[in-house]
A and B are shown apart, each in its own frame.
Chain A
């Protein structure tokens, strides 16, 4: 009984610990020193103020896209498409950032964020609608839409949206009025982190205190029961996916306005895919997702530093992530409700 009550907290902690042990063994087996690697990892992620800020900046897109996956998960849907939604949201924000000129920042920034939110939400509504009304599996459709989004963005940014003055496949820089405040120490920390925290609070309120949030949770617990209770299951699924895509689109928009200042082809190192690990480790709750995005943000910030100092390839962070998904997603206790 006690084991069951503690499981939601203990299992994530144990799975993170287990993943670090596995990664340590891998490093050791490849002739490295796991303790040196770990200390470099800690030094790089939270050993200095720049390191800490870098952790927070890496956590920002992970938090938002992790929330995106979590919202869909609460409705019983797998949004594997956060990557595509993030990319298109970023592209939309970059467009709004340089297409409008002469606006004050307090109007321009919200317009750019709204563009990202809108495009990400609409893109994610497609698999939601196909699932709700045609029964197509959202996993297959979101995987395909990811590739479509990547190809489409690649096409635009090498063609009509390409900045003629730039060699790289990228849009023009956004206007200064569309840029979020960012730290000048090279950590890429920006005001976007605050926006991401606000979004987490917003999602928590929405899930707990609003009718839509209640319907989303009801559909996630059992679509048939929810239907009998009078919930419009189809509409709720579409709303949940649109909301999910909106959050992923916001993640992309913030990366553009706060970090890159333009849309750069293939800028995302896979935030949308990492977000699946973030959401699962966080158990689908906004608080959990926030904590796990900080963990993975630190891992990502520390891994680059570790690679430079100990020559342990930074991909070890990805191995930690994979093991975490395995162990956090497992249900060891028979009959436990999720």
Chain B
């Protein structure tokens, strides 16, 4: 195969990979924000779904940019709800995450039927004016760099990492740990909401039932595979995105079943959890007493 031919094959594949990886990178950063301050976040899925829905509804009413703003706001509120439930109600982090995911799934499907039409599936809402995906991809990649710098080279980053390792000792050192956690969970919700807005406002231009379909969990898997670091998470997300693009490209043309390719991120995560023994932040999941 000649050089230009190869480039002609790889370039669209690379672009598709970036498109698939963008929501994973955004939500993955959200996962890092939350888990680095000690709050387990399986609610990323629900935050993305809430963001995707709100983004679309607000986008139809007032334009896609307002939609993004609304998605980010609702994401932040869901993030803060997760914090409130785990700290004030002293809910187990997993339990709160499950509840948030259920509530997001069922309230968006409920509202979709109530607000748009009465018919049962197929139900979806569309939007005409979409945002360019490259805008989100650029923002996502820039944010990875920003997060890397903030986390490892600023006093705030040191505080965030310290809270995740041991909240009690960080509090002893005079840091307002409650504020750090609030910042982390607010940022987590903002980023997951942005990832949801990307799906509904930039990638497909519509909202349908359960449209996030597990991307929040894959983003969390990327966080684990990337050992809770922005750069590692981004690398894992790009790998998962590339697999997804490849799977789409090969569909029907190769004997390899699509289910197998689609399964690779899940297998990779289980293998990573087994072989790498990734070390989570020490205080991750600690319950308020």
Contact = CB atoms under 8 A, between A and B. Distances in A.
A89 to B, nearest CB: 19
A326 B92 CA distance: 10
Contact of B107 (A126, A136, A319): A319
Interface string B274-287: 10010010000000
Q: How large is the interface on A (under 10, 10 to 19, 20 to 34, 35 or more residues)?
A: 35 or more
Contact of B105 (A30, A126, A318, A331): A318
With a 10 A CB-CB cut-off, give which of B103, B110, B262 has the most chain A CB atoms: B110
A90 interface: no
Contacts of B94: 78, 80, 139
Contacts of A204: none
A225 interface: no
Contacts of B257: 155, 159
Contact of A326 (B40, B91, B113, B280): B91
Nearest to A129: B274
A142 to B, nearest CB: 10
B138 interface: no
A106 interface: no
Contact of B224 (A26, A80, A140): A140
A141 B113 contact: no
Contact of B89 (A147, A155, A330): A330
Interface in B87-124: 89-92, 94-96, 98-100, 102-103, 105-107, 109-111, 113-114, 118
Contacts of B266: 144-145, 147-148, 151
B267 interface: yes
B11 to A, nearest CB: 29
Contacts, number: 131
A147 B240 CA distance: 14
A177 to B, nearest CB: 32
A11 to B, nearest CB: 12
Interface string A312-331: 01011111011101100111
Interface in B189-229: 214, 217, 220-221, 224
Contacts of B270: 126, 130, 136, 141, 144-145, 148
A276 interface: yes
Contacts of A325: 95, 98-99, 102
A313 B109 CA distance: 9
Given A144-B270, A315-B113, A326-B89, A134 B102 contact: no
Interface in B223-277: 224, 257, 259-260, 262-263, 266-267, 269-270, 273-274, 277
B42 interface: yes
Contacts of B130: none
Nearest to B260: A155
Interface class of chain B by DSSP: helix
A147 B214 contact: yes
Interface in B47-97: 85, 89-92, 94-96
B273 A313 contact: no
A91 B39 CA distance: 36
Interface residues of B, number: 43
B98 A319 contact: no
A152 B40 CA distance: 28
B183 to A, nearest CB: 23
Nearest to B216: A143
Contacts of B40: 139
Interface string A296-338: 0000000000000001010111110111011001111001000
A83 B77 CA distance: 29
Contacts of A136: 270, 273-274, 277
Given A137-B273, A159-B257, A322-B106, A280 B263 contact: no
Contacts of A154: 259
A214 interface: no
Nearest to B213: A147
A322 B99 contact: yes
A331 B267 CA distance: 36
A279 to B, nearest CB: 10
Given A139-B94, A325-B95, 4 more contacts: A136-B274, A144-B221, A273-B102, A323-B99
Interface of A: 26, 30-31, 78, 80, 126, 130, 134-137, 139-141, 143-145, 147-148, 151-152, 154-155, 159, 273, 276-277, 280, 311, 313, 315-319, 321-323, 325-326, 329-332, 335
Interface of B: 40, 42, 85, 89-92, 94-96, 98-100, 102-103, 105-107, 109-111, 113-114, 118, 214, 217, 220-221, 224, 257, 259-260, 262-263, 266-267, 269-270, 273-274, 277, 280, 289
List the 8 closest A-B pairs by CB distance, nearest first: A318-B106, A322-B103, A330-B89, A136-B273, A325-B99, A155-B259, A322-B102, A315-B110
27 contacts: A130-B273, A136-B270, A137-B273, A139-B40, A140-B273, A141-B273, A143-B42, A144-B266, A144-B267, A151-B266, A152-B263, A159-B257, A276-B95, A277-B98, A280-B95, A316-B106, A317-B106, A318-B109, A319-B103, A322-B103, A323-B103, A325-B95, A325-B102, A329-B95, A331-B91, A332-B89, A335-B289
